[in-house]
Each structure stands twice: as C-alpha cells, then as structure tokens.
Amino acid sequence: MLTGKAIVVIGGDARQLEIIRKLSTLDAKLSLVGFEQLDDGYIGASKQAMDEVKWSSVDAILLPVSGMNANGEIETIFSNEKIILTPDIVRQTPEHCTIYSGITNETLNNCVKKAKRKLVQLMGRDDIAIYNSIPTAEGAIMMAIQHTDITIHSAKIAVLGLGRVGMSVARTFDALGADVSVGANESHQLARITEMGLKPFHTDKLIDEVSTIDICINTVPDLIITAKVLAEMPLHALIIDLASKPGGTDFRYAEKRGMKALLAPGLPGIVAPKTAGRILANVLADLLQAD
Ligand code: NAP
C-alpha cells in the first residue's frame, strides 16, 4: 500500500488516468496538476495548481510519458494551462523525493541534477519495453491491414531488429501466418531467429533480402532502410517504421520513388491507451511501494 505517500501527478494523457486509478486504490495521497478538465473523481486525489502544491512534503513526482519539452513545459490533454516544472520547484521537495518520467531529455536531466534529486526513466526499463511491445505489435498489425490490399497471412514480411519490439512483432506476424524473415546483426540473435522457426538474415545483407517482400517493419533506431535498399524493394512494398524519430528509413527517397513508408511512433498510446496506462501503473506501483 502507499498509505501516507504524497505523490504529485503532473499532466499527461489517458494513460495517466490508469496510473491515478491504481495509486488511488493503493491509498496514496495524490495532487493532480493539469487535470482541471477531468470530470472523474478519485479517492484521495485533489486537483491543484502548481503553486498550491505543498512541495516540502512530496515523496514522488510523476511526469507523463513525454516528460517535459526543451522549455520545461509539461503536456496535458486535461488543461489549457501552461505547466512548467523548474529546478527551483523540485528543490523545495524533501531530499528523498523521486521524479518518474516516461522519457527524458537534456532539460529534465538538468532540472533533476540542479535540484539533486533522483530521476527514474520508465520507458528505458526492460519490463516496460517488453510489455509495451505487445500493443506496439498490435498497432503494426493495424497499420499493415489499413495500408495494404493483401492479407497478412502468406505476405512476405521482413522485420528489422530482434530487440524487445522486433521479437514481439516477428512472433505476432508469424502467428498470423505471414512468411516472416528477421534481420539482425549479432550471431546470437540470428540463432534465436532460427530457433523461433523464422528466416534469419544479417542486416549487412539487407539489400539482397528485399526484392520480393510485401511489408518491411523496422525496429532498428538507425538509418537502415537507405535509398539503396529502397531501390531494390518492389514498388508495392509497405514500410512500417517503428523506430523512434527520425526512424530508420530514407523517407525522402521512398516518397520520390512512390513507395508508402510510414513512421509510426507511440502506437501503445494510440491503439491501447488503457493497457499502456496499466503497464506503467503496475510498474510504478511496485517502484513506489519498494521506495
Ligand atoms: P531494443 O530492444 O534496443 O532493440 C533494437 C534492436 O536493434 C537491438 O536488438 C539492436 O541490436 C538492433 N540493432 C541496432 N542496429 C542494428 C543493425 N544495424 N542491424 C540489426 N540490428 C540492429 O529497442 P526496442 O525496445 O526493441 O525498440 C526499438 C525501437 O522502437 C526504439 O527506437 C524504440 O524507441 C521504438 N519503439 C517504438 C514504439 C512505437 O510505438 N512505434 C513502441 C516501442 C518502442 P544490438 O542490441 O545488438 O545493438
């Protein structure tokens, strides 16, 4: 239980509501900043403005998945107010106060460093990345259905990268009957692809693998689908690039060649905000209870 813990939840989207629900059930004392337009009430939670929070008794600050922007502003879909978290505010918290954020950037890192507090970056954690790979794979299915006129079953699909997302994507499309090959650059990953009953290839040889594919799903966060690779793909091939911005595709060349190449960030929050929120809520609840 989180009885007696004072937690400030600042901004966010529908995923944050699952977190608020979970922490409220665990009896935390919640201050919700940037939620004026939220109609639902939660036991133990009160809506507050930044200057109403009693920072000196705050045990944890929860930022949204997006963290803060370069100016320290925190996004919220439940308010029109501008919310800014500064090092001066964080400094008012007790020394043990921890800041939790989905992702981080230089501004947030500097803010936490200046205030000498601890930052936990949730999206960097293996457990969250693996759980999140489930809605990400489902989002990739949605995009494949929306943007092709063929079935996934029997389609020739190349998945690039066998990390947390690549493994789930490859497995999911295989289970739907697609003809899946997976590109990786480490011998142990190539062995794992073979063990999974899929066709392995080294990404150095990507150019030789793409001439007959229908769909290419990239998870490698580096420019890997270059103009040279695109030039070898059939014109009808769909590219779904899941890697974080700017993705791993030469989108300019793909457009020039008349190919459909889609950068698809943030799929868990789009296709399954409730599940994506629960994933964060469960891990956060464990972390806060262990603190
Ligand atoms: P990950 O576990 O680090 O996987 C990335 C994989 O790419 C690693 O296995 C890495 O291998 C491999 N790789 C790097 N360079 C390569 C190359 N040249 N050839 C072959 N493989 C290469 O990361 P992840 O969690 O799967 O996430 C992948 C990307 O998807 C990230 O950019 C992440 O931000 C993004 N993402 C997007 C969504 C969405 O909704 N679109 C959702 C979740 C994550 P090594 O480990 O050997 O380097």
| pLDDT tens profile 144-168 | 999 999 999 999 999 999 999 999 9
Closest CA to ligand 1's atom 1? 163
Helix or strand or coil: residue 94? coil
Asked whether 127 lines ligand 1 (CB < 6 A), one says no
Q: What is the pLDDT of residue 39?
A: 84
Closest CA to ligand 1's atom 29? 243
Q: Which residues 6+ apart lie within 8 Å of 203 measured at CB?
A: 160, 183, 184, 185, 220, 224
Q: What is the pLDDT of residue 38?
A: 87
Asked whether 53 lines ligand 1 (CB < 6 A), one says no
Q: What is the pLDDT of residue 245?
A: 87
**Amino acid code (one letter) for 120:** V
Q: What angle do CA 212, 214, 220 make, to 5 degrees?
A: 100
Q: Hey, which of 18-22, 43-47, 179-183, 276-280 has the most confident mean pLDDT? A: 179-183
Helix or strand or coil: residue 274? helix
**Amino acid code (one letter) for 264:** A
Mean pLDDT for the stretch of residues 127-150: 97
> Is the model's pLDDT at 107 over the cut of 90?
yes
Q: pLDDT, tens digit, for every residue of 65-80?
A: 989 999 999 999 999 9
- Per the CB < 8 A criterion, the answer to whether 141 and 180 are in contact is no
Ligand 1 pocket test, candidate residues 159, 185, 267, most atoms within 8 A of CB: 185
**pTM for this entry:** 0.88
pLDDT band at residue 84, thresholds of 50, 70 and 90? very high
Extract the tokens encoding 186: 């480490």
Asked whether 76 lines ligand 1 (CB < 6 A), one says no
Asked whether 164 lines ligand 1 (CB < 6 A), one says yes
Number of residues in the chain = 291
> Is the model's pLDDT at 291 over the cut of 90?
no
For the CA of 165, the nearest atom of ligand 1: 26
Asked whether 222 lines ligand 1 (CB < 6 A), one says yes
For the CA of 266, the nearest atom of ligand 1: 40
- How remote is the CA of residue 12 from the centroid of ligand 1, in Å? 25
Q: pLDDT, tens digit, for every residue of 199-252?
A: 999 999 999 999 999 999 999 999 999 999 999 999 999 999 999 889 999 999
- How remote is the CA of residue 222 from the centroid of ligand 1, in Å? 9
Mean pLDDT for the stretch of residues 255-272: 95
- How remote is the CA of residue 278 from the centroid of ligand 1, in Å? 23
Asked whether 158 lines ligand 1 (CB < 6 A), one says no
Asked whether 103 lines ligand 1 (CB < 6 A), one says no
Bridge partners of 206? none
- How remote is the CA of residue 203 from the centroid of ligand 1, in Å? 13
Q: What is the pLDDT of residue 284?
A: 95
For the CA of 268, the nearest atom of ligand 1: 40
For the CA of 221, the nearest atom of ligand 1: 32
The count of C-alpha atoms lying within 13 angstroms of the C-alpha of 264, restricted to the half-sphere facing its C-beta, is: 29
For the CA of 203, the nearest atom of ligand 1: 19
